[in-house]
Amino acid sequence: MDTYTIARIVHVIAVVFWIGGVAMVTTVILPAVKKMVSKQERMDTFEKIEGRFAMQAKISTVLTGLSGFYMIYYADGWERFLYLQFWWLHAMVLVWLIFTIILFILEPYVFHKLFKKYAVNYPEKTYSYIHRAHWFLLILSIITIIGAVAGSHGLYFI
């Protein structure tokens, strides 16, 4: 096995852990938390789960970025960013960048404080907003994965 194959293995496993976790939070955990009666129990449960997942997501996004950029470097694939048929490369970078900014900057320094403030006073609105945001990010991620798998096997939608 060469380093490109190892990078691809790391990349796929990291994406599975990362986006799989986002799918779990979006489709299972948030709906369950939203149904809890106690405001405090909702907040405590969500923060415990999200806190544990945050570390997994951070490690996964770092590994995804490192392996992805390495594969582009190794294959000298930078020129592909100039062609519309490789839109999925742009989408992968965009999704990775959005999540990286959220996980490493916005969540610890902005969202965490806002969540504590609004989750107690406006729980329905807060959890609905968080759920919609997760759905948006999950759908964007799924579209990107579809494009990346299809595009890397020669099926171009454009």
Q: For residue range 21-33, what is the model confidence (pLDDT) as tens digits?
A: 999 999 999 999 9
Sign of the alpha-carbon torsion through 86, 89, 95, 98 = negative
**Ranges of H-type helices in 35-111:** 39-74, 87-101
Tokens of residue 71, six digits: 């594969």
Closest CA to 10 of 71, 75, 77: 71
* pTM, to two decimals: 0.92
Rounded mean pLDDT, 128-140: 96
pLDDT(1) > 70: no
141 class by beta-carbon count within 10 Å (0-12 exposed, 13-18 middle, 19+ buried) = buried
Q: For residue range 79-128, what is the model confidence (pLDDT) as tens digits?
A: 999 999 999 999 999 999 999 999 999 999 999 888 888 888 888 899 99
Rounded mean pLDDT, 134-148: 97
Q: Give me the helix-helix angle, 39-74 and 3-24, nearest 10°.
A: 160
Cβ pair 104, 58 in contact under 8 A: yes
For the stretch 18-21, contacts whose Cβ atoms lie closer than 8 Å and that sit 24 or more positions apart, written own/partner, are 18/56, 18/57, 18/60, 18/61, 18/64, 18/99, 19/138, 19/141, 19/142, 19/145, 21/53, 21/56, 21/57, 21/60
Q: For residue range 36-48, what is the model confidence (pLDDT) as tens digits?
A: 888 888 888 988 9
pLDDT of 99 reads 97
pLDDT(9) > 90: yes
Cβ pair 147, 47 in contact under 8 A: no
